[in-house]
């Protein structure tokens, strides 16, 4: 198992354990910026396991043609099961399989995962994974969205990034504030900085008024209007929650 070096991780350190055919893809962007600094500080731990190491034949085969015919290759259940057995033997869970067939990743699941001990992430390649190992291991199937990536690795990077920024000590007070604004279920209001006039465009007057309450209510209105326009699904949920609170 490759462990990306970090300072004094303890047994309690939040751990991302990744099963992949491409361990070189990690830490990738997670080695930079906020997540990278937190990794260096030992706030979280990244481990990769090469699925191919669990193949048993001399060619180290991890996939085979699909029963019933069709295009592409399917990852073998026996090989993936052996990799998962090794990855979960210390009790780390949940074990997640990244797939467009999975439950859509939302902030509530991110919060749940960040609050736990970590994640075991299985990254698929080829056309998919034999269904039997998903059932046998009770894998939680998670999707990043309604699009198809060429493999689970970029999805794993995104999921880990979303979790790591919520870990204590990674972002400081800012994270809490951000999450609170997400909690409202609205999209963010637009942001502006200097110069106050740029390409004949002025920053909204209210923002330079210094009037805190007017700024707050302008931002709230902007959030509501943007959400209504761009994400009617979120807007409906927001209204519904509001009316339930009022009861």
Closest CA to 14 of 72, 92, 88: 92
From candidates 34, 86, 149, 203, binder to ligand ADE by CB under 6 A: 149
**By CB under 6 A, residue 134 contacts ligand ADE:** no
Q: Within positions 56 to 115, which residues make up the interface with ligand ADE, using CB under 6 A?
A: 98-100
Beta carbon nearer to ligand ADE, 79 or 123: 123
List alpha helices for the chain, DSSP H. 33-41, 77-88, 107-115, 131-136, 153-164, 173-183, 212-230, 232-246
Closest CA to 158 of 94, 110, 92: 110
Closest CA to 98 of 153, 22, 17, 53: 153
Minimum separation from the CB atom of position 146 to ligand ADE (A): 7
Q: Within positions 152 to 211, which residues make up the interface with ligand ADE, using CB under 6 A?
A: 152, 155
Beta carbon nearer to ligand ADE, 44 or 97: 97
Question: How far is C-alpha 36 from the geometric centre of its chain's CA atoms?
Answer: 16
Minimum separation from the CB atom of position 133 to ligand ADE (A): 16
Strands 63-64 and 74-75: antiparallel
Beta carbon nearer to ligand ADE, 48 or 143: 143
**By CB under 6 A, residue 22 contacts ligand ADE:** no
Count of residues interacting with ligand ADE (CB under 6 A) = 11
Show the site string, 38-57: x = touches ligand ADE by CB under 6 A, - = not: --------------------
**46 phi and psi angles, rounded to 5 deg:** -120, 125
Binding stretches for ligand ADE (CB under 6 A): 98-100, 143-145, 147-149, 152, 155
């Amino acid at each position: 198992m490759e462990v990306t070096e970090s300072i004094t991780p303890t047994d309690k350190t939040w751990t991302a354990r990744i099963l992949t055919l491409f361990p070189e893809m990690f830490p990738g962007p997670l080695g930079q910026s906020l997540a990278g600094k937190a990794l260096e500080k030992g706030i979280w731990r990244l481990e990769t396991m090469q699925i191919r190491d669990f193949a048993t034949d001399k060619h180290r085969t991890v996939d085979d043609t699909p029963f019933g015919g069709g295009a592409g290759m399917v990852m073998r259940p026996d090989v993936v099961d052996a990799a998962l057995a090794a990855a979960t033997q210390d009790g780390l869970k949940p074990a997640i399989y990244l797939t467009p067939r999975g439950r859509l990743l939302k902030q509530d699941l991110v919060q749940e995962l960040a609050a736990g001990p970590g994640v075991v992430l299985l990254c698929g390649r080829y056309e998919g994974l034999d269904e039997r190992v998903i059932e046998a291991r009770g894998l939680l199937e998670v999707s990043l969205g309604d699009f198809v990536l060429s493999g689970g690795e970029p999805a794993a990077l995104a999921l880990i990034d979303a979790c790591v920024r919520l870990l204590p000590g990674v972002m400081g007070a800012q994270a809490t504030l951000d999450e609170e604004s997400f909690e409202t279920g609205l999209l963010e209001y637009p942001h502006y900085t200097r110069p106050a006039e740029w390409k004949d465009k002025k920053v909204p007057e209210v923002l330079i008024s210094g009037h805190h309450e007017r700024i707050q209510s302008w931002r709230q209105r902007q959030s509501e209007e943007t959400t209504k326009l761009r994400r009617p699904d979120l807007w409906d949920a927001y209204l519904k929650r509001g009316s339930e609170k009022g009861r």
